[in-house]
Amino acid sequence: MHGIYQILNIENGDCYIGSAVNLQKRTNQHLSMLRRYISKHIHLQRTWNKYGEENFEINILEKVADRNDLIQREQFFIDKFKPAYNVRIVAESNLGIQESAETKALKSNVAKARGQNERQLAALRKAQRNRIGKPVKGKVKQSLKLGPLSMVGKPKSKETKEKIRQTKLGEKNYMFGISQEDHPSSKKVKNKLTGAVYASAKLCSEKLGKSYVHVNMILRGQRKNTLNIEYLKE
């Protein structure tokens, strides 16, 4: 299946846009190379290493019947999303380009060296975490039993209680807008591109197949609005 795909960082809304003659094969290649730290897309690989696989998702933006239209449609989505992880802002095709044996060998050596360096760094980070974590493991468990920062049993001043209460009111509450659709505090959500209106952020997330938290943070301006949604002004 031909088409255009997006690799989206759900933490900051940045993305990579690509086209493929075989979408399944291409996206699997991306995942395999990113997981082995050998992706040729350096910006994407560095961000993947920083945020972790769990904060990325692959979306199929459009299925294209004629492979000759792939570049044109890829350019359309590059112009629309302005992807931060694409080195080239002009879509180009690599179909039909034959690389020399020397070029292939050079690319292979570079990829192996990059992968080895990344694995060494990952091993070093893991070793450092283990050295730091083992001496305090018992203390951490005890702290968790007592509660966050061992505040259990410690009285809070009225001023502190009021500050905590204020951080949980209205749109500051991370659950704001995702209550049941018939609840009086629910706010309707509108898709700016299609004009579709959802009774609540919860219903919007279900219809779009996204998590409640991701949709809610977009509506509160804490993430890039990759879904083109907003609260309906009544």
Three-state DSSP string of the chain:
CCEEEEEEECCCCCEEEEEECCHHHHHHHHHHHHHCCCCCCHHHHHHHHHHCHHHEEEEEEEECCCHHHHHHHHHHHHHHHCCCCCCCCCCCCCCCCCCCHHHHHHHHHHHHHHHHHHHHHHHHHHHHHHHHHHHHHHHHHHHHHHCHHHCCCCCCCHHHHHHHHHCCCHHHCCCCCCCCCCCCCCCCEEECCCCCEECCHHHHHHHHCCCHHHHHHHHCCCCCCCCCEEECCC
Share of the chain above pLDDT 70, in %: 61
Handedness of CA 159, 161, 167, 168 (dihedral sign): negative
Average pLDDT in the chain = 77
State the residue for tokens 């938290």: 213
Residue with tokens 């659950």: 175
Structure tokens at 12: 């900051």
Sequence-separated (6 or more) residues with CB below 8 Å from residue 205: 178, 211, 212, 214, 215, 216
pLDDT band at 111 (very low <50, low <70, confident <90, very high): low
What is the reported pLDDT for 177? 52
Q: pTM value?
A: 0.43
Instruction: Answer for the pair 172, 151: CB distance below 8 angstroms, yes or no.
Output: no
Residue 231 has pLDDT above 70, yes or no: yes
The rounded distance, in Å, linking the Cα atoms of 36 and 52 is 13
State residue 173's pLDDT score.
55
Number of Cβ atoms within 10 Å of the Cβ of 224: 18
Report the pLDDT value the prediction gives residue 233, as an integer from 0 to 100: 83
Cβ–Cβ under 8 Å, residues 1 and 212: no
Cα–Cα distances (Å) from 181 to 9, 217, 218, in that order, read 29, 18, 19
Q: Within 13 Å, how many C-alpha atoms sit on residue 43's CB side?
A: 13
pLDDT at 27: 94
211 Ramachandran zone, left/alpha/beta (phi>0; psi -120 to 50): beta
Q: Rounded mean pLDDT of 94-103?
A: 52
Rounded Cα distance, 154 and 156, in Å: 7
- What local confidence, expressed as pLDDT, does residue 9 receive? 94
Q: Is the pLDDT of residue 106 over 60?
A: no
Confidence tier at 89 by pLDDT (50, 70, 90): confident
